[in-house]
């Protein structure tokens, strides 16, 4: 069997964007070159080998096409038969020898297809049988680059098959029409159809729908992230051609995508609405939902804009503004009572701590999307699954039996470090990071140590890049929990995850060959409390200074194990006292003796991960040296 080769001619690369993000790249081509190849006949009651008409037609079609191929005195042969095919000689891959057998191959394909139709048009699955074989045969004509015409004799084949179907009186009229429609829609009208819709057109259509659909409303919130990650461009299920073995998925045209989005919109608004929330006992904040409805209705109207077709331009402006004023007054009339009700509540009420609810596995409907659910933590898999609930009367019921938490009925929403962080939320960051990394490393070693050659490998070094790659995938996956959380909570998780990657790079990365030993030497060193105060001073001055300073001090003492001469953790009050003494001495305040610059030099290794802190410390060293020298000169 001759090996088939297809050459694609790529000419540019273009971005595919959705919601302002690049979701992929598209290679734009000028078509492809593939020579025609033979097909195989199917068997059945009718056999072209013993049919005189088939044999006669085979010879006649071969003769006619051969004459066309070779040319006559009146008309040139292939590829000079037309201006488009003549462009083939400019293609490096073109070889006329690839097409020498095209007349005979085409004649056989016509006879094979006619036989296949004859043997299958009465079958229950006639449509699949016949259209699959036609598609398989059309594919066998090969491909031509842009500007080089159609595959040789493909339209001749299509024309002869369509005529054979129309002339076959044994085929039922309705089946005959269905097959003819398939040929016309698939091949004869291709140049006028949307068959090969540009993906950017579909992306633009979908983006417009995303912009219009009120996905920011609370009861649609769970769907927003899903919509932004989903590209609903495929129409129907994948189909396998039984003759070519090729799996194809039909891509929407612009019009069919619009129809699909209309159906999706109708399904969503009829299944997810205030009435369904009430029936499921999830309408716990009706005023807030009412406010969302009013705001989104006004937003939709503003997107539509205002227009007026009055002939007089002054009248046009006045009516234009009059309509806007009327809408604004109606909007404020509706929204004012709700704002009066809700704003005090927003000031007085403590917002739900959903991160703590996740950690404690609370069953609640105070999630950001109002779903009545519980986050179940799986310690062996290190992930969270959502368990849904509903009320029957006053009785709380599971949506699904929870003796086994399958991932279909209990979807996984977090994995990896995000899941571990949420499960241990509130504990020391360093302890969480170290415990998770070492636990993951131990699991890796348990598997790898059983493999041949493991004794000669540095498993710690091998593990680090694999872990980073996997955890980044897990972090992206964990965005599935976002619909349940507020923006502030999502941002906090993102900050922790980002901190985790920075931390393990500093402490466990193979680039820092002595990273772990350096880390241990720092955290276990016996700095005096006053020296730790210098470290804290520079780190805190360079930081964001969120919250109260005493709370930052407490965290610093715990994270760095700041101990007093008795070996016990120093108290926050003692640390604060020493800190303000150090601050005054660094800055020469309150007539305090200047701090010796050597004291700051000694703690510089503890600032190596804080660029701004190091810069500030080095500036103070220069400042203190100059001040001390100046004082000595004046004394002298």
Does the pLDDT value for residue 523 go beyond 60? no
Rounded-to-integer distance, Cα 435 and Cα 555, Å: 18
* 3-state helix/strand/coil string of 24-45: EEEEEEEEEEECCCCCCCCCCC
Last residue of a domain, one of 483, 515, 547: 515
Rounded-to-integer distance, Cα 54 and Cα 49, Å: 8
Tell me whether the omega of the peptide bond preceding residue 76 falls within 30 degrees of 0, making it cis: no
Does the pLDDT value for residue 220 go beyond 70? no
- Span 30-39, mean pLDDT? 89
3-state secondary structure of 396: strand
Do 360 and 419 lie in a common domain?
yes
User: Would you say residue 295 lies in a domain?
Assistant: yes
Do 179 and 80 lie in a common domain?
yes
User: Would you say residue 256 lies in a domain?
Assistant: yes
User: Would you say residue 2 lies in a domain?
Assistant: no
Do 332 and 391 lie in a common domain?
no
User: Would you say residue 610 lies in a domain?
Assistant: yes
| pLDDT score at 525 | 47
User: Would you say residue 154 lies in a domain?
Assistant: yes
* 101 DSSP assignment: T
Task: Work out the pLDDT band at 23, boundaries 50, 70, 90.
Answer: low
Do 229 and 307 lie in a common domain?
no
Last residue of a domain, one of 248, 277, 306: 277
Q: Considering only CA atoms, which of 498, 377, 375 is closest in space to residue 433?
A: 498
**Cβ proximity of 149 and 90 under 8 Å:** no
Do 444 and 344 lie in a common domain?
no
Rounded-to-integer distance, Cα 519 and Cα 311, Å: 79
Rounded-to-integer distance, Cα 376 and Cα 387, Å: 7
Last residue of a domain, one of 131, 163, 192: 192
- Span 251-268, mean pLDDT? 74
- CA torsion angle for 168, 174, 180, 185 (degrees, to 10)? -170
| pLDDT score at 515 | 44
Instruction: Please give the backbone phi and psi of residue 26, each rounded to the nearest 5 degrees, phi first.
Output: -115, 130
Comparing 180 with 208, the larger pLDDT belongs to: 180
Beta strand segments in 353-505, E: 373-378, 383-392, 395-398, 412-415
Q: Considering only CA atoms, which of 626, 560, 623 is closest in space to residue 586?
A: 623
- Span 289-303, mean pLDDT? 78
Comparing 605 with 298, the larger pLDDT belongs to: 605
User: Would you say residue 108 lies in a domain?
Assistant: yes
- Span 323-338, mean pLDDT? 79
| pLDDT score at 176 | 92
| Lowest mean pLDDT segment, chosen from 25-34, 194-203, 382-391 | 194-203
Task: Tell how strand 21-34 and strand 412-415 pair up.
Answer: unpaired
| pLDDT score at 631 | 77
3-state secondary structure of 11: strand
Range among 195-204, 411-420, 454-463, 586-595 rated most confident: 411-420
Rounded-to-integer distance, Cα 341 and Cα 333, Å: 14
Do 343 and 364 lie in a common domain?
no
3-state secondary structure of 636: coil
Do 37 and 168 lie in a common domain?
yes
Rounded-to-integer distance, Cα 595 and Cα 586, Å: 5
Query: Could you tell me the end-to-end alpha-carbon distance of the chain, in angstroms, rounded to an integer?
Result: 103
| pLDDT score at 193 | 42
| Lowest mean pLDDT segment, chosen from 17-26, 46-55, 364-373 | 17-26
C-alpha gyration radius of the chain: 37
**Cβ proximity of 128 and 98 under 8 Å:** no
Do 117 and 35 lie in a common domain?
yes
| Lowest mean pLDDT segment, chosen from 253-262, 444-453, 555-564, 580-589 | 253-262
User: Would you say residue 105 lies in a domain?
Assistant: yes
3-state secondary structure of 360: coil
Strand-pair partners of 71: 76
Does the pLDDT value for residue 514 go beyond 70? no
| pLDDT score at 567 | 73
Q: Quick check: pTM over 0.75?
A: no
- Span 610-621, mean pLDDT? 90
Rounded-to-integer distance, Cα 163 and Cα 165, Å: 5
CB atoms within 10 A of CB 298: 17
Does the pLDDT value for residue 373 go beyond 90? yes
Task: Work out the pLDDT band at 579, boundaries 50, 70, 90.
Answer: very high
| pLDDT score at 191 | 45
| pLDDT score at 192 | 40
3-state secondary structure of 412: strand
Rounded-to-integer distance, Cα 133 and Cα 41, Å: 10
Q: Considering only CA atoms, which of 47, 34, 51 is closest in space to residue 138?
A: 34
**Cβ proximity of 274 and 289 under 8 Å:** yes
Comparing 469 with 546, the larger pLDDT belongs to: 469
Cα 188 from chain centre: 38
User: Domain of 339?
Assistant: 285-348
Q: DSSP labels for 265-310?
A: HHHHHHHSSHHHHHHTT----HHHHHHHHHHHHHHHHHHH------
| pLDDT score at 422 | 95
Do 326 and 360 lie in a common domain?
no
Does the pLDDT value for residue 347 go beyond 80? no
Do 468 and 568 lie in a common domain?
no
Number of H helices, E strands in the chain: 23, 9
Do 289 and 270 lie in a common domain?
no
Per residue in 101-145, pLDDT (tens digit) is: 999 999 999 999 999 999 999 999 999 999 999 999 999 999 999
User: Would you say residue 601 lies in a domain?
Assistant: yes
Q: CA geometry: angle at 198 spanning 194 and 199, to 5°?
A: 125
Rounded-to-integer distance, Cα 410 and Cα 616, Å: 51
* 91 DSSP assignment: S
Comparing 535 with 405, the larger pLDDT belongs to: 535
Do 382 and 401 lie in a common domain?
yes
How many domains would you assign to the chain? 5
Q: Which residues contact 277 (CB under 8 A, 6 or more apart)?
A: 219, 283, 289, 370
Cα 318 from chain centre: 47
CB atoms within 10 A of CB 192: 7
Q: DSSP labels for 118-132?
A: HHHTTSTTHHHHHHH
């Amino acid at each position: 069997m001759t090996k088939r080769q297809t050459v694609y001619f790529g000419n540019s690369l273009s971005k595919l964007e959705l919601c302002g993000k690049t979701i992929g790249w598209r290679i734009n081509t000028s078509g492809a070159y593939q020579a025609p190849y033979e097909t195989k006949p199917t068997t059945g009651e009718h056999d072209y080998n013993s049919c005189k008409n088939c044999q006669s037609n085979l010879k006649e079609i071969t003769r006619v096409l051969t004459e066309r191929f070779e040319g006559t005195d009146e008309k040139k042969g292939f590829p000079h038969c037309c201006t488009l095919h003549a462009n083939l000689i400019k293609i490096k891959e073109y070889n006329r020898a690839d097409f020498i057998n095209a007349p005979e191959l085409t004649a056989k394909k016509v006879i094979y297809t006619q036989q296949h139709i004859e043997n299958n048009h009465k079958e229950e699955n006639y449509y699949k049988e016949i259209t699959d074989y036609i598609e398989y045969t059309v594919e066998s004509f090969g491909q031509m680059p842009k500007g080089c015409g159609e595959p040789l004799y493909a339209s001749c084949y299509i024309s002869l098959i369509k005529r054979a179907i129309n002339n076959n009186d044994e085929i039922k009229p309705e089946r005959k029409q269905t097959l003819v429609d398939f040929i016309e829609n698939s091949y004869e009208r291709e140049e006028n159809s949307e068959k090969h819709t540009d993906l950017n057109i579909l992306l633009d259509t979908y983006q417009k729908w995303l912009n219009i659909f009120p996905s920011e409303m609370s009861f649609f919130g769970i769907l927003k992230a899903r919509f932004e990650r989903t590209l609903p461009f495929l129409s129907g299920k994948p189909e396998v051609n039984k003759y070519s073995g090729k799996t194809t998925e039909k891509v929407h045209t612009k019009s069919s995508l619009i129809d699909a989005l209309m159906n999706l919109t109708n399904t969503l608004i009829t299944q997810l609405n205030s009435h369904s929330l009430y029936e499921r006992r999830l309408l716990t904040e009706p005023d807030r939902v009412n406010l969302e409805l009013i705001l989104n209705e006004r937003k939709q109207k503003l997107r539509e804009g205002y227009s007026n077709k009055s002939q007089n331009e002054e009248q046009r402006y006045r009516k234009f503004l009059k309509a806007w004023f009327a809408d604004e007054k109606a909007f404020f009339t509706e929204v004012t009572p709700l704002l009066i009700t809700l704003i005090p509540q927003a000031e007085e009420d403590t917002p739900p701590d959903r991160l703590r609810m996740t950690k404690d596995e609370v069953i609640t409907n105070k999630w950001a999307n109002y779903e009545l659910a519980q986050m179940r933590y799986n310690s062996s898999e290190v992930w969270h699954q959502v368990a849904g609930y509903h009320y029957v009367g006053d009785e709380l019921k599971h949506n699904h039996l929870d003796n086994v938490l399958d991932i279909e009925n209990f979807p996984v929403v977090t994995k990896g470090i995000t899941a571990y962080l949420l499960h241990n939320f509130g504990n020391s960051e360093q302890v969480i990071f170290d415990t998770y990394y070492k636990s993951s490393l131990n699991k890796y070693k348990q598997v790898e140590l059983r493999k041949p050659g493991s004794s000669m490998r540095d498993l710690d070094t091998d593990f680090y890049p694999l872990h980073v790659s996997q955890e980044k995938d897990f972090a992206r996956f964990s965005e599935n929990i976002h619909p349940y959380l507020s923006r502030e909570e999502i941002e906090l998780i993102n900050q922790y995850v980002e901190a985790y990657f920075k931390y393990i790079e500093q402490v466990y990365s193979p680039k820092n060959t002595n990273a772990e030993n350096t880390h241990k030497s720092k955290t276990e060193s016996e700095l005096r409390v006053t020296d730790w105060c210098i470290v804290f001073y520079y780190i805190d001055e360079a930081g964001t200074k969120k919250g109260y300073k005493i709370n930052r001090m407490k965290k610093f003492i715990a994270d760095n194990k700041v101990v007093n001469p008795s070996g016990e953790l120093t108290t926050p009050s003692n640390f604060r006292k020493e800190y303000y003494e150090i601050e005054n001495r660094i800055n020469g305040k309150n007539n305090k003796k200047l701090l010796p610059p050597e004291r700051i030099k000694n703690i510089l290794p503890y600032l190596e991960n804080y660029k701004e802190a190091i810069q500030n410390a080095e500036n103070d060293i220069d400042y203190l040296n100059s001040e001390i020298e100046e004082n000595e000169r004046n004394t002298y």
